[in-house]
Homo-oligomer: A and B are copies of this chain.
Amino acid sequence: MRMTARPENAHQARLLKLLRDDGPRSRAELGDVVRLSRSKLATELDRLVELGLVEGAGLAASRGGRRSAIVRLSPALRFVAFDIGATSIDVAVLGGELDVLGHVSEECDVRLGATVVLDRALDLLGKLRDEGLIPQVHGTGIGVPGPVSFRDGMPVVPPIMPGWDRFPVRDAIGQELGCPVLVDNDVNIMALGELHAGPARQVDDFLLVKIGTGIGCGIVVDGTIYRGVSGSAGDIGHIRIDDDGPVCACGNAGCLEAYFGGAALARDALAAARDGRSAHLAERLEHAGALNAADVADALGAGDPEALRLVREGGRHVGQVLAGLVSFFNPGLVIISGGVAGLGHTLLAEIRSVVYRRSAPLATGNLPIVLTELPGTAGVIGAGRLISDHVFSTSS
């Protein structure tokens, strides 16, 4: 397989990222942004065309003089994204501007281990390949549901991923696909997806709170993922709410995840169905044999008071933890995402209420707290962003 071309200097890298983030632009517009002389800009763009990364796309409308030529990223550019969750795999093929060209998803238990799960992901990619979507892969980004050594490209002691500890995910997939690969935590890649395509585009410092089976947080500082010194930053699921709360899977009592998240909500919904507090949930249980966040959302939509209570309580507990983090981090935006975020505005209203009441006033003065606008796609777009940042830079 042909090696992926890379930019040769910082100007070329900047031009590629501009074209990725803002779409096709005239040479005149690019010149305004990058502040290169006309001849220097022409040299760099011509070189990017030679490398097969950029191509001409007609002439722009006149700005008063000669019409300027439009350039765009090569339509042949392809990034692959694997978003591996606790119970699902998403595989997508993206163009150079991180537009989703194809996206398949299936249920898969991450506890089946690295070999099985990655084989499934490659099978799914094969389906997209069969559709002719992938002339060449220029890079692959991978998210996994646990802590990652970003430098080594592998999960490290991931609590819910037996069989994955120090499995060389980056190197294995790199060998398979013959392209650059980067691996990161799934919450971090969701935050990158929001940075690329959500309301966070305009914000330097923000938090993405993912409420799925567990609860995690992506931290963006100055437009870059903050990972902490051992890659575990944002691991907020076991922050203490109360010393005498429910016992958590981690062994401590009163952690956030012992109160809320997909797992805790399923537990509480089951109890409510069984002890007669919710006829609606009892009916769903009888029908399906188990309950999850979607059942609670359904009960909520039907006006079930017990479901309402569960969601409000959950929002209050998320808000209690988030209020502290907002005081500490003073973000410009908080985005709520993940499967349980499907509980929507009831959950959001409760989170907002607690954060706005309990955080430092200066930190909440202009703080939007919103639901994601990218449910289902933030992860794969973020995985594309991760690897394209790498491929579109000079250092390897």
Judge if A147 is at the interface, Cβ distance under 8 Å.
yes
Check B228 against A329 for contact (C-beta < 8 Å). Answer: yes
Contact of A362 among B157, B205, B327 (CB under 8 A): B157
Judge if A46 is at the interface, Cβ distance under 8 Å.
no
State whether A204 and B229 are in contact (beta carbons under 8 Å apart), knowing that A217-B328, A242-B242, A360-B238 are contacts in the complex: yes
| Set of chain B residues within 8 Å of A236, measured between Cβ atoms | 324, 327-328
Q: Give Cα A229–Cα B233 distance, bound, in whole angstroms.
A: 19
Check B157 against A232 for contact (C-beta < 8 Å). Answer: no
Q: Give Cα A227–Cα B329 distance, bound, in whole angstroms.
A: 8
* Copies per assembly: 2
Q: Give Cα A104–Cα B112 distance, bound, in whole angstroms.
A: 66
Count A-side interface residues using an 8 Å CB cutoff. Answer: 44
Scan A357-371; emit 1 where CB is below 8 A from any B CB, else 0.
Answer: 110111101100000
Judge if A59 is at the interface, Cβ distance under 8 Å.
no
Check A221 against B226 for contact (C-beta < 8 Å). Answer: yes
Judge if A332 is at the interface, Cβ distance under 8 Å.
yes
Contact of A147 among B226, B240, B325, B362 (CB under 8 A): B362
| Set of chain B residues within 8 Å of A307, measured between Cβ atoms | none
A217 to chain B, nearest CB (A): 7
A residues 284-327 in Cβ contact with B at 8 Å:
320-321, 323-325, 327
Q: Give Cα A252–Cα B355 distance, bound, in whole angstroms.
A: 12
Check A330 against B228 for contact (C-beta < 8 Å). Answer: yes
Judge if A37 is at the interface, Cβ distance under 8 Å.
no
Q: Which residue of B lies closest to A230 (CB)?
A: B362
A residues 208-263 in Cβ contact with B at 8 Å:
217, 219, 221, 226-236, 238-240, 242, 252
Q: Which residue of B lies closest to A324 (CB)?
A: B239
Q: Which residue of B lies closest to A227 (CB)?
A: B330
Q: Give Cα A323–Cα B228 distance, bound, in whole angstroms.
A: 15
A6 to chain B, nearest CB (A): 23
Judge if A24 is at the interface, Cβ distance under 8 Å.
no
Q: Give Cα A228–Cα B219 distance, bound, in whole angstroms.
A: 12
Contact of A363 among B204, B230, B358 (CB under 8 A): B230
State whether A234 and B328 are in contact (beta carbons under 8 Å apart), knowing that A358-B252, A361-B157 are contacts in the complex: yes
Judge if A156 is at the interface, Cβ distance under 8 Å.
yes
Contact of A232 among B147, B231, B239, B360 (CB under 8 A): B360
Q: Which residue of B lies closest to A233 (CB)?
A: B330
Check B252 against A331 for contact (C-beta < 8 Å). Answer: no
Check B360 against A235 for contact (C-beta < 8 Å). Answer: yes
Q: Give Cα A44–Cα B365 distance, bound, in whole angstroms.
A: 46
Q: Which residue of B lies closest to A205 (CB)?
A: B229
Check A233 against B358 for contact (C-beta < 8 Å). Answer: no
Question: Can you name 7 A-B residue pairings with CB atoms under 8 Å?
Answer: A203-B229, A204-B229, A217-B328, A221-B221, A229-B331, A232-B330, A240-B323
Question: Which A residues are within 8 Å of any B CB, using their own CB?
Answer: 147, 156-157, 203-205, 217, 219, 221, 226-236, 238-240, 242, 252, 320-321, 323-325, 327-332, 357-358, 360-363, 365-366
| Nearest 8 CB-CB pairings of A with B | A228-B330, A232-B362, A239-B324, A233-B330, A229-B332, A235-B360, A232-B330, A232-B363
